[in-house]
């Protein structure tokens, strides 16, 4: 009798498992990827695609920012914190059927830092340079499945940094084959295999049946571009897509009421901001930067753009992150004070400039154009007249990274739960080198020394004190107007199972299935 029960249970398990398999999953988003080479891209839309194709040595436990093994089964650090040794997973293949091993790891990183590498020129390697570029001395294959990273100084968040998308392991064979066109022909070890990319329309993937983890449930995955939030919701309601990103704040209530849809939300691990280009007048004057901070009514901005999905920002990192400085003052909305500061700075009649509006929906900025219009109107009240500019997403990023703007809107979703990922990556002197992630081009020596010191100790208390002081310097020098932190939303059809939002902003589909 027991044998019969066991057999029946096994049969039921197999049946249920089989029921999860198959189908086409369609995810609708607001903008297209810029490219599909994880080492060279910097935007979330690109990483939505690359995370399906590539794996990293380490990644995050589902729905969290907790590090777990991935292509590396384990790792260890030397006592001085200058060497990290990773033991790699065996039996893993790239999509082109070549073998994953230590040489592939060495190749992946050497193309980002070794100028003698023939594929080095295909960067720029923004993330690499703004995270570990000043620290990495070498990457060596100790044997076929052991790799050693050597640093020139301690870097406390080093292992967490390797969970960032830029550290995805690429197929050396494919990079050699496609060269500078690898960003259109990605080959990794991930759960989905790239099929095709129709620019500004859709990217198609198929399930990797040989995946080293449990293979993905759906046969095909399509990332479809639908720029307008209302059109995305309509497509979801009609069953043309299965999941949509960033529904409009005005539609949240109606989604909740619809029994055929499910609303998914996650406290935003993000910051949306307005950066002032300090390399250009008059933003090189701290009084002007403070005047602009006092001119912005964040409550009205949030009401007009975020609805109930945003809270005002004051620091350059989210409140949920350890070492967030609660005691940092805020720039109160005070147009009179703003005008006084402009007079003191030598601009009694104000000035003219530009403000660049994000052209795609991002978790930290639901509607860039509307936000720019609100900011334009508020600045006009203190005689700062700004022209709104925008470009397609790839062009926008290229130009702000080169500093063509006066003021530009941008934002950040944390890649890992460490203040370093916000303060160093976005505001360090290193990050101000063009093409720059520090688009304020702010170089403050005292701030920079604090965040560098914080990288060199693993003591949480010491690091917290250093980061809190750094946030105070940020407030005093005012290179940004920190605008808002947002709640992140997605919506699905009621038959979608297993989809979750990650605090790091990734969209992972390998565990999603259609009921």
Residue 123: predicted pLDDT: 82
Do 453 and 510 share a domain, yes or no?
no
Q: Domain for residue 388, yes or no?
A: yes
Whether residue 229 lies inside any domain: the answer is no
What is the DSSP-derived secondary structure letter of residue 349?
T
- Structure token digits, residue 333: 């909305």
Residue 259 lies inside a defined structural domain of this protein: no
Q: In which order are the strands placed within the sheet that holds 83-88? A: 72-77, 83-88, 146-151, 136-143
Residues 428 and 507 in one domain: no
Crossing angle of the two packed helices 445-455 and 420-427, in degrees rounded to 10: 140
User: What's the total number of domains in the chain?
Assistant: 2
Same domain, residue pair 383 and 500? no
Q: 298 and 191, same structural domain?
A: no
The CATH number given to whatever domain includes residue 85 is: 3.90.76.10
Residue 348 to residue 371: CA distance in whole angstroms: 26
Give the C-alpha separation, 317 to 321, whole Å. Answer: 7
282 and 304 assigned to the same domain: yes
Q: Are residues 118 and 202 in the same domain?
A: yes
pLDDT digits (tens, 9 = 90+) for 147-205: 999 999 999 999 999 999 999 999 999 999 999 999 999 999 999 999 999 999 999 99
The structure's pTM equals 0.89
Q: Would residue 510 count as lying in a domain?
A: yes
Same domain, 324 and 442: yes
Strand partners, 28: 224, 244
Q: Round to whole Å and give the CA distance between 223 and 241.
A: 10
Determine, yes or no, domain membership for 231. Answer: no
341 plus 467 within the same structural domain? yes
Q: 510 and 449 in one domain?
A: no
Same domain, 73 and 191: yes
The single-letter DSSP state of residue 7 is H
323 lies in which domain range? 270-487
Which among 317, 312, 351, 303 is positioned nearest to 331, based on CA atoms?
312
Q: What is the percent of the chain where pLDDT is above 70?
A: 96
Q: What is the dihedral of CA 68, 143, 178, 401, to 10 degrees?
A: 50
Same domain membership, residue 418 and residue 299: yes
Residue 3 lies in a domain: no
| pLDDT on residue 362 | 92
| Sequential pLDDT tens for the chain (515 residues) | 545 544 444 444 444 455 678 999 999 999 999 999 999 999 999 999 999 999 999 998 887 778 999 999 999 999 999 999 999 999 999 999 999 999 999 999 999 999 999 999 888 888 999 899 999 999 999 999 999 999 999 999 999 999 999 999 999 999 999 999 999 999 999 999 999 999 999 999 999 999 999 999 999 999 999 999 999 999 999 999 999 999 999 999 999 999 999 999 988 899 999 999 999 999 999 999 999 999 999 999 999 999 989 999 999 999 999 999 999 999 999 999 999 999 999 999 999 999 999 999 998 999 999 999 999 999 999 999 999 999 999 999 999 999 999 999 999 999 999 999 999 999 999 999 999 999 999 999 999 999 999 999 999 999 999 999 999 999 999 999 999 999 999 999 999 999 999 988 899 999 999 99
Which CATH number does the domain housing residue 387 bear? Answer: 3.10.105.10
Distances, alpha carbon 262 to alpha carbons 265, 500, 509, in Å: 10, 11, 17
What is the full DSSP assignment across 131-161? HTTTTEEEEEEEETTEEEEEESS--TTHHHH
> Do the beta carbons of residue 244 and residue 471 sit within 8 Å?
no
Same domain, 130 and 277: no
Helices (H), 215-322: 229-237, 252-257, 286-295, 298-305
Phi and psi at residue 86, to the nearest 5°:
-115, 130
The Cβ of residue 4 has, within 10 Å, a number of other Cβ atoms equal to: 8
Q: 254 lies in a domain?
A: no
Question: Quick one: pLDDT at residue 69?
Answer: 98
Rounded CA gap, 135 and 151, in Å? 5
| Pair 131, 424: CB distance under 8 Å | yes
Q: What pLDDT score does 124 carry?
A: 84
Of the candidates 134, 130, 211, 202, the residue with the CA atom closest to the CA atom of residue 425: 130
Q: Cα separation of 47 and 205, whole Å?
A: 14
Q: Which residue has the tokens 């065996």?
A: 90
Cα–Cα distance, 382 to 333 (Å, whole number): 12
Q: Does 386 reside within a domain?
A: yes
């Amino acid at each position: 009798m027991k044998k019969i029960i066991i057999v029946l249970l096994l049969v039921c398990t197999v049946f249920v498992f089989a029921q999860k398999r198959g189908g086409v999953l369609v995810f609708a988003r607001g903008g297209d990827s810029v490219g599909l080479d994880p080492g060279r891209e910097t935007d979330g839309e690109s990483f939505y695609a690359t995370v399906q194709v590539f794996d990293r040595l380490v990644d995050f436990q589902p729905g969290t920012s907790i590090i777990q093994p991935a292509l590396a089964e384990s790792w260890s650090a030397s006592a001085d914190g200058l060497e990290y040794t990773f033991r790699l997973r065996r039996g893993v293949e790239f999509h082109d059927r070549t073998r994953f091993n230590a040489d592939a790891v060495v190749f992946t990183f050497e193309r980002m830092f070794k100028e003698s590498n023939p594929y080095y020129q295909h960067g720029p390697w923004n993330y690499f340079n703004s995270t570990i570029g000043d620290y990495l001395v070498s990457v060596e294959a100790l044997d076929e499945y052991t790799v050693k990273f050597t640093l020139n100084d301690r870097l406390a968040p080093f292992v967490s940094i390797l969970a960032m998308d830029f550290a995805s392991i690429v197929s050396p064979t494919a990079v050699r084959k496609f060269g500078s066109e690898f960003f259109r022909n990605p080959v990794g070890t991930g759960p989905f295999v790239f099929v095709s990319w129709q620019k500004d329309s859709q990217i198609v993937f198929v399930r990797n049946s040989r995946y080293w983890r449990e293979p993905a449930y759906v046969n095909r995955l399509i990332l479809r571009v639908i720029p307008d939030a209302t059109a995305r919701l309509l497509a979801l309601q009609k069953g043309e897509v299965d999941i949509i990103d960033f529904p409009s704040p005005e539609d949240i209530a109606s989604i909740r009421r619809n029994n055929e849809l499910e609303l998914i939300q996650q406290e935003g691990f993000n910051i949306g901001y307005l950066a002032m280009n300090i390399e250009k007048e008059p933003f090189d004057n701290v009084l002007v930067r403070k005047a602009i901070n006092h001119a912005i009514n964040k409550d009205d901005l949030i009401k007009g753009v975020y609805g109930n999905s945003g809270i005002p920002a004051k620091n350059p990192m989210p409140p949920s992150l350890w070492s967030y400085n609660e005691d940092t003052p805020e720039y109160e909305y005070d147009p009179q004070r703003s005008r006084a500061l402009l007079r003191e700075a030598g601009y009694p009649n104000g000035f003219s400039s530009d403000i660049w509006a994000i052209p795609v929906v991002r978790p930290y900025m639901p509607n860039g154009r509307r936000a720019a219009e609100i900011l334009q109107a508020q600045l006009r009240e203190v005689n700062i007249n700004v022209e709104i500019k925008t470009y397609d997403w790839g062009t926008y990023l290229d130009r702000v990274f080169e500093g063509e703007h006066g003021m530009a809107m941008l934002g950040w979703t944390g890649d890992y739960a460490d203040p370093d990922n916000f303060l160093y990556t976005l505001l360090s002197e290193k990050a101000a080198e063009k093409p720059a992630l520090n688009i304020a081009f702010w170089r403050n020596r005292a701030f920079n020394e604090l965040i560098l010191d914080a990288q060199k100790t693993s003591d949480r208390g010491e690091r917290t004190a250093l980061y809190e002081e750094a946030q105070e310097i940020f407030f005093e020098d005012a290179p940004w107007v920190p605008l808002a932190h947002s709640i992140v939303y997605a919506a699905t059809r009621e038959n979608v199972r297993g989809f979750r939002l990650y605090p790091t902003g990734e969209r992972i589909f390998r565990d999603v299935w259609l009921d």
